């Protein structure tokens, strides 16, 4: 059986603790690697004076990881630069925040070449290579240039932007053409897939065939929509754990009869947190009868703090939460509890379970696994209501959520009022449809869907070409 070689920007250190604080991608990839066997390769998150290619191997939780340190210049140009100041804002439709710097691109190319040089000796002839996300788009082409003929797939976890936005990127053709070094390219939703196909046909003169086959020049790949899921059974079990029950009880006790609205998001401008606070403020202003009867808990762990736009979003939220609390709070009630720290997933499961509303309102999101975790954590006999942005990838699957336009404060206010007033029977009916999807299309379904597509690729490099 072929091993799975996963390559991503960062690697989750192996842990035998099932409640370790892990991001959605980490949980998904660890589950895939436990099932298939293989190696997870990527950056350690540490810097070194000079790049040596030394690999640090670790084992834990049934997974082998292999990490390398990068130079400080690599970190500045590849990660903080091209990945997070150029590609991330552009792919999230924020061309106003996108920075185009030649040094950024040079660092991006350099690190992808270094990854290729370092991981290539670890790959055996029958292994399947699965590359992840916008940090490593050119990696497949770098590995092909080094003679690698393995089946290779690429999965993009963030949105793919419309053609007119993408063409603002210098050397955009070169970036997209590098995807044709892979055999299968996956996107979270049909919307993002359609945007990719529009670019390929409109800018590269590509042709579309049956079953997702796409040809540009002498290269044909398969492009698919494969929405990522969560470890649903594991998360439902976590929601029943002692830690989760204690967290849930703690929330109930601190709520003192008030309805809890919860938001859990990495601190990022794509998550729509200022718009969420303003929508909640509109609700408070429009429904004075609810004063003192509801509160918003916003958990927002900081990220990428060396990038100016992330410091700015934190300052904005500090200001907004302070102003709203100052205007609406009473001596025994604060309308917003704003927390800049993360929590282990079993504690989060308990917080989700205690919440009458899960507020997931990104301005643009590849998928958003918080929405699925909120659904999985609910009490089947008395579930809460998921309010979900129409612009999150998860909205394509979770159609029985209350879907909103996050740019509209009035629409968000109305959605909160609707969710709070929703009868128990309707909440159960909506939740049952949501949990059916979350259980059926879980992380292993996603993994099998993508790997099956890769396994269907002809064995020989000549046939793939």
| Cβ neighbours of residue 344 closer than 8 Å, sequence gap 6 or more | 19, 20, 21, 243
Residue 67 bridge partners (DSSP): 42, 56
Q: Which of 285, 8, 31, 221 is nearest to 119 (CA)?
A: 8
Residue 451 lies in a domain: yes
Q: What percent of the chain has pLDDT over 90?
A: 86
Residue 274 lies in a domain: yes
Q: What is the mean pLDDT of residues 24-49?
A: 84
In which band, very low, low, confident or very high, does the pLDDT at 322 lie, cut at 50, 70 and 90?
very high
Average pLDDT, the chain: 93
Instruction: Give this prediction's pTM.
Output: 0.94
* Whole-number pLDDT of residue 25: 65
Residue 439 Cα to chain centre, angstroms:
18
In which band, very low, low, confident or very high, does the pLDDT at 46 lie, cut at 50, 70 and 90?
very high
Q: Which of 105-109, 241-245, 459-463 has the lowest mean pLDDT?
A: 459-463
| Range(s) of the domain holding residue 223 | 4-229+444-459
In which band, very low, low, confident or very high, does the pLDDT at 15 lie, cut at 50, 70 and 90?
low
**Same domain, residue pair 236 and 323:** yes
Residue 465 lies in a domain: no
**Same domain, residue pair 251 and 220:** no
**Same domain, residue pair 252 and 386:** yes
Residue 258 lies in a domain: yes
**Same domain, residue pair 271 and 364:** yes
**Same domain, residue pair 317 and 384:** yes
**Same domain, residue pair 98 and 125:** yes
| Cβ neighbours of residue 460 closer than 8 Å, sequence gap 6 or more | 149
Residue indicated by tokens 């309707």: 426
Q: What is the mean pLDDT of residues 436-450?
A: 94
Residue 260 lies in a domain: yes
* Whole-number pLDDT of residue 21: 53
Overall size of the chain counted in residues = 465
Count of domains for the chain: 2
In angstroms, the CA 317 to CA 315 distance is 6
Please identify every residue annotated as catalytic. Answer: 157, 365
Q: What is the mean pLDDT of residues 164-180?
A: 97
- Residue 404: what are its φ and ψ, rounded to 5°? -135, 160
pLDDT in tens, 418-436: 999 999 999 999 999 999 9
pLDDT in tens, 218-234: 999 999 999 999 989 99
CB atoms within 10 A of CB 412: 28
Residue 151 sits in a domain whose CATH number is: 3.40.50.2000
Residue 464 lies in a domain: no
* Whole-number pLDDT of residue 406: 98
In which band, very low, low, confident or very high, does the pLDDT at 463 lie, cut at 50, 70 and 90?
very low
**Same domain, residue pair 208 and 239:** no
Q: What is the mean pLDDT of residues 399-414?
A: 98
Q: What is the mean pLDDT of residues 92-108?
A: 96
pLDDT in tens, 358-398: 999 999 999 999 999 999 999 999 999 999 999 999 999 99
């Amino acid at each position: 059986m072929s091993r799975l070689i996963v390559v991503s920007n960062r690697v989750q250190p192996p842990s035998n603790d099932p409640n370790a604080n892990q991001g959605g991608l980490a949980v998904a990839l660890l589950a895939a690697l436990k099932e298939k066997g293989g190696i997870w390769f990527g950056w350690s998150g540490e810097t070194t004076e000079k790049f040596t290619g030394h690999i640090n191997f670790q084992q834990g939780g049934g997974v082998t990881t292999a990490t390398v340190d990068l130079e400080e210049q690599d970190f500045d140009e590849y990660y903080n630069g091209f990945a997070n100041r150029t590609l991330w804002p552009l792919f999230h439709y924020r061309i106003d925040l996108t920075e185009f710097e030649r040094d950024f691109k040079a660092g991006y190319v350099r690190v992808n070449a270094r990854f290729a040089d370092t991981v290539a000796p670890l790959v055996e002839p029958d292994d399947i290579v699965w590359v992840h996300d916008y940090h490593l788009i050119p990696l497949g082409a770098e590995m092909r240039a080094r003679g690698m003929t393995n089946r290779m797939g690429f999965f993009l976890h963030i949105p793919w932007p419309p053609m007119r936005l993408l063409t603002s990127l210098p050397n955009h053709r070169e970036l997209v053409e590098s995807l044709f070094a892979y055999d299968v390219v996956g996107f979270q939703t049909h919307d993002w897939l359609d945007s990719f196909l529009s670019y390929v046909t409109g800018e590269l003169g590509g042709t579309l065939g049956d079953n997702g086959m796409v040809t540009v020049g002498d290269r044909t790949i398969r492009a698919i929509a494969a929405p990522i899921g969560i470890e649903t059974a594991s998360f439902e079990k976590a929601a029943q754990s002692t830690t989760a029950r204690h967290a849930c009880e703690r929330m109930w006790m601190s709520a003192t009869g008030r309805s809890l609205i919860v938001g859990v998001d990495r601190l990022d401008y794509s998550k729509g947190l200022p718009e969420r606070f303003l929508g909640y403020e509109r609700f408070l202003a429009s429904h004075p009868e609810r004063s003192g009867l509801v509160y918003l808990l916003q958990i927002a762990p900081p990220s990428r703090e060396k990038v100016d736009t992330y410091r700015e979003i934190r300052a904005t939220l500090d200001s907004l939460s302070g102003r709203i609390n100052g205007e609406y709070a009473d001596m025994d009630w604060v309308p917003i509890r704003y927390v800049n720290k993360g929590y282990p997933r079993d504690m989060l499961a308990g917080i989700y379970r205690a919440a009458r509303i899960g507020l997931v309102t990104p301005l643009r999101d590849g998928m958003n696994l918080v929405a699925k975790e909120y659904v999985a954590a609910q009490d089947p006999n008395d579930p809460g209501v998921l309010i979900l942005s129409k612009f999150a990838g998860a909205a394509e699957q979770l159609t029985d959520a209350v879907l909103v336009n996050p740019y509209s404060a009035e629409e968000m206010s109305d959605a909160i009022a609707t969710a709070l007033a929703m009868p128990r029977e309707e909440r159960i009916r909506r939740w049952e449809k949501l949990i059916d999807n979350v259980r059926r299309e879980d992380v292993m379904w996603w993994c099998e869907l993508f790997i099956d597509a890769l396994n269907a690729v002809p064995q020989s490099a000549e046939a793939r070409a």
